[in-house]
Structure 1
Amino acid sequence: MRALLLATSVMLAAACAGKARRPEGAPSRVVVVGASVVRKPAPRGLVGNVFGEDEPRDVVAREGAEALRSRGYEVVGVELTPGPAPTVEQGAALARKYRADAAVVLVLTRLDLSAVQPLGRAEVQLESMMVGPDGRVLSSGERRSATAQGLYLARTDWRSHVRQAVIQAVRELP
């Protein structure tokens, strides 16, 4: 019984230590803006055909909001923008509209699924920006990552690769 309790507490401590929390002094109330210049990939396999309704910007916004919540941010709104990335001024205007401390803009700029079937890998490029309501850029960056997933779902559903890239980009925000 003690061994089970000890093992459970060690796993819980390890899980908590792996999460990046929101640093003190960082904005706490944010609005998430999801955008994509990537077209929706064609469905692959049964999973893609059944659950293939999402647009890339929907996945970016939804997963970005969830990743921010897990880091301790209060997400006060989620916006989707068609077409290119919103400007700094548009991000600041959304932060003011939602009375948020900042707008977190996540833009999917590249999604290469050519190696998904044989290797379970995809290349994802994502731009991120955190803008205050005054128009000041608090953080910006571009992340290019090669995601690897071995499960059948990941080989047939592009969303798992985008999800992984969004989570990695959100970890780098202040």
Structure 2
Amino acid sequence: MRVRLFLLLSLFLTACAAPQVRPPGAIRKVVVVVGSRVDALPTNSYREDLMGEGNPRTVLSGQTQAVLRERGFEIAGVRISDAPTPSTQEVVSLIRENDAEAGVVVVLNWVDVTVIQSIGRADVILETGVVTPSGQLLWRKESRTVSTMGMYQAQTDYSSYLRKAIIQAVNEIP
């Protein structure tokens, strides 16, 4: 009896943890291209500097891939652009190199963390878009996220506000 209950529970948890499946006809295989108008994020610790969390492009790339995978997208390639905003040609060439259906572009436009230590609030503006292999813009949205976090998190996990903003912006991609 206990074994059956355990198996049933483990199957249920596995089913809940599985990534979403994209609907038929929807874009599935994408490349991710990130850019940032913000050169560096203010960090709170040496550990964050060491793990690359002071570089907004690193955080954008990793979190965007994670959210897209959860939503059932297949990531064919990733490029971190040196330019503040990736060019259409840069995105199109990565799409073609990896035989992808589209490119997901995420650009960090602005961050304000002046009151994060005092009231745990950060403002982030992200621009998100989807580009076809021909260079046509399928979808674009600029989103502003105001993240509020507890004081402990604001002091220990300083870039969590950016990850929250990325999750919100990437979840809006059709």
Q: Which runs of 5+ in 2 are unaligned?
A: 1-5
Identify if the C-alpha distance between structure 1 residues 21 and 168 changes in structure 2 by more than 3 Å, giving closer, same or farther.
farther
The answer as to whether partners of 1:145 and 1:165 remain within 8 angstroms in 2 is yes
The answer as to whether partners of 1:68 and 1:170 remain within 8 angstroms in 2 is yes
Instruction: Give the count of matched residue pairs.
Output: 164
The answer as to whether partners of 2:103 and 2:132 remain within 8 angstroms in 1 is yes
Match of 1:171 in 2: 171
Match of 1:99 in 2: 99
Given residue 148 of structure 2, which amino acid in structure 1 is its aligned partner?
Answer: A
Counterpart Cα distance in 1 of 2:154 and 2:91 = 32
Match of 1:49 in 2: 46
- 1:60: Cα distance to partner? 0.3
Counterpart Cα distance in 2 of 1:158 and 1:36 = 18
Counterpart Cα distance in 2 of 1:145 and 1:21 = 27
SS at match of 2:40: coil
4+ residue stretches of structure 1 with deviation over 6 A? none
- 1:23: Cα distance to partner? 4.2
Counterpart Cα distance in 2 of 1:20 and 1:145 = 24
The answer as to whether partners of 2:108 and 2:125 remain within 8 angstroms in 1 is yes
- 1:98: Cα distance to partner? 1.1
Counterpart Cα distance in 1 of 2:120 and 2:98 = 39
What do you get for the CA RMSD once the two structures are aligned? Answer: 2.6
Percent of pairs with identical residues: 37
Cα distance per residue 1:40-90 (max 9 Å; x no partner): 13322xxx2222232101100110000000000001111101132112232
Match of 2:114 in 1: 114
Identify if the C-alpha distance between structure 1 residues 23 and 118 changes in structure 2 by more than 3 Å, giving closer, same or farther.
farther
1:21-60 alignment runs, 5 A limit: 22-44=22-44, 48-53=45-50, 54=52, 55-60=55-60
Q: What is the TM-score normalised by the length of structure 2? A: 0.82
Given residue 83 of structure 1, which amino acid in structure 2 is its aligned partner?
Answer: A
Worse overlay, 81-90 or 95-104: 81-90
Counterpart Cα distance in 1 of 2:69 and 2:85 = 22
Counterpart Cα distance in 1 of 2:158 and 2:38 = 12
Counterpart Cα distance in 1 of 2:41 and 2:74 = 31
Q: Which runs of 5+ in 1 are unaligned?
A: none
